[in-house]
Amino acid sequence: MRSLAVFGALVLLMWLSLIALLYVIDILVIAAVEESWARSVLGLAAFMCWVSGWYRALLTLSKKLIERWTRRASSEH
Amino acid sequence: MVLEYIFALLAPAAAAYALTPRVARLMRSLNHMRPDVHKPGRPMVPYSGGVAIFASSMPFLLAVALLDSALVVRACVLAAVISIAFAVGLVDDFKVLSGRAKTLLSLLTVLPLIVAHAVQPAHVQLGRPLVPLLGRLRLTVVYWILLPLVAAGPANVVNMLDVLNGVMPATSLAAAIALALSAILVDPKGVLLLLPLVGALAGYLPYNKWPARVLNGDSGSLMVGAYVGAAAALLHLEFIAAVALIPHILNGALVIVSVRGFKEHRQMKERPVVVREDYKLLPSTSPSAPISLVRLILAVDGPLEERQVAARLIALGLISSALATFTALLIPR
């Protein structure tokens, strides 16, 4: 059941970071910026940063998990 | 009002429960079967169980429209979207389409939404997603750029996670329930649009859970995914749907990135998972094999039986759906 803990925690972390991002956008962008277009651009830029951060983190995690499994499988043989 | 809800939920459930074995018998008589590759002896199992989900949700979705005139337009749009996704899936079930062709055809599901937005803006408003903390956004440009993904995105990611018995109907049922609970908070009448899907999946699940007596086929997974995505767009719950489908999105993104594009699983040279002689699943050690959520689960937990992996995926679906329901509470009203 370790995988459920790992990926359950990952889903929870993604969700928490997304809510935190929305909070930051609410405080820093919506409250401080008046122009609608600027809000959209800044909000979307922040969201794209969130997406690319998670994209890199997930790829790194996936490669590490598969490498670890490959090492384990070859040592068992 | 309560009777409408009970009807919209229980009638599709009863229909799916009664219809699925008949659809399975029909597929068996047509010799439309596929091997269940993770079972000893690879038994042949009737395919295209999605026909039962479609046939048990569609009539009741249209009946909901008759029951409540305020829902007519949205119910008809939703019916058109799921009919397109179902047709694409059914064609793929009988005549295998390439991954790219299937993805492009599934983009057609956006057409009913665009037409309804243009013709009936009072009933179908797109580009106004409800977001926690921020409330209703007004996305005038970005939403339209991303619009093709609104129904086709969920359709394809749900399809990509439909790899083990019971996973597609169980995780989609959890997501649909999360959306329905969220809709209670923002659009109580709109819940009626989701109940036929919830009921149909609940009635269908007993036949697809491990060991499956019928396989969903793309007709099932594309249709159910498109239903979730289009219903979310019609109820302004796109954000909630995205949270409920986190495991699906995660899996889809990993597969697309690792195989560099949209490829039909039958066209992939290497499989992400290897089936051992004792029918336990192992993650592939090949560096060029696709990376999928199932492969990663197996990389952490080692050899597992199909039902053990399916249980973990369903648990992840339940976690993300619970988070999605909680997210709805954070939408300002």
Q: Tell me: the pLDDT tens digits for B227-261?
A: 999 999 999 999 999 999 999 999 999 999 988 76
Chain mean position to CA B72: 23
Position B97 confidence tier, pLDDT thresholds 50, 70, 90: confident
Burial of B80 (C-beta count, 10 Å sphere; 0-12/13-18/19+): middle
Please indicate whether, in this complex, the C-beta atoms of A15 and B243 are within 8 angstroms of each other: yes
Share of chain B above pLDDT 90, in %: 75
**Where are chain B's structural domains?**
2-261+308-329
Instruction: Provide the number of structural domains found in chain A.
Output: 1
Q: In whole angstroms, how large is the CA radius of gyration of chain B?
A: 19
pLDDT tens per residue across span B132-165? 999 888 887 888 888 888 889 999 999 999 999 9
* pLDDT (average), residues B194-210: 97
The answer to whether A31 faces chain B, any CB pair under 8 Å, is no
Position B265 confidence tier, pLDDT thresholds 50, 70, 90: low
- The Cα of B154 is separated from the nearest Cα of chain A by a number of Å equal to 17
B323/B318 Cα distance (integer angstroms): 9
Position B198 confidence tier, pLDDT thresholds 50, 70, 90: very high
Share of chain A above pLDDT 90, in %: 64
Q: What are phi and psi of A49, to 5 degrees?
A: -60, -40
Note the residue count of chain A: 77
Token pair for A49: 């940063």
Please indicate whether, in this complex, the C-beta atoms of B132 and A14 are within 8 angstroms of each other: no
Contacts of A15 in chain B (CB under 8 A): 243, 246, 320, 323, 327
Query: Which residue in B328, B297, B327, B324 sits closest to B310, CA to CA?
Result: B297
pLDDT of B268 > 70? The answer is: no
Which chain B residue lies closest to A31 (C-alpha atoms)?
B134
Count of CA atoms in the C-beta half-sphere (13 A) of A52: 6
* pLDDT (average), residues B56-68: 91
- The Cα of A8 is separated from the nearest Cα of chain B by a number of Å equal to 6
B137 Cβ contact partners less than 8 Å away, ≥ 6 residues apart:
B128, B129, B130, B131
**Of the spans A29-43, B83-97, B265-279, which averages the highest pLDDT?**
B83-97
**Helix pair angle (B306-329, B246-259), 10° resolution:** 120
B244/B316 Cα distance (integer angstroms): 10
What's the pTM value of the predicted model, to 2 decimals?
Answer: 0.94
Q: In B, what residues contact A, Cβ < 8 A?
A: 131-134, 138-139, 141-142, 243, 246-247, 250, 253-254, 257, 282-283, 285, 291, 293, 295-301, 312, 315-316, 319-320, 323, 327, 330
Longest C-alpha distance within chain A, in Å?
Answer: 64
Predicted pLDDT at B328: 95
Please indicate whether, in this complex, the C-beta atoms of B296 and A44 are within 8 angstroms of each other: no
Amino acid, single-letter form, for residue B315: A
Please indicate whether, in this complex, the C-beta atoms of B291 and A15 are within 8 angstroms of each other: no
Predicted pLDDT at B105: 92
pLDDT of B266 > 70? The answer is: no
B19/B204 Cα distance (integer angstroms): 9
- The Cα of A42 is separated from the nearest Cα of chain B by a number of Å equal to 13
The answer to whether A18 faces chain B, any CB pair under 8 Å, is yes
Please indicate whether, in this complex, the C-beta atoms of A44 and B142 are within 8 angstroms of each other: yes
pLDDT of B264 > 70? The answer is: no
Token pair for B97: 């389409």
* pLDDT (average), residues B45-70: 93
Please indicate whether, in this complex, the C-beta atoms of A58 and B253 are within 8 angstroms of each other: yes
SS3 A3: helix
Token pair for B146: 């991303």
pLDDT tens per residue across span B269-312? 778 998 888 889 999 988 889 999 999 999 999 899 999 999 99
pLDDT tens per residue across span B167-178? 999 999 999 999
Predicted pLDDT at B58: 96
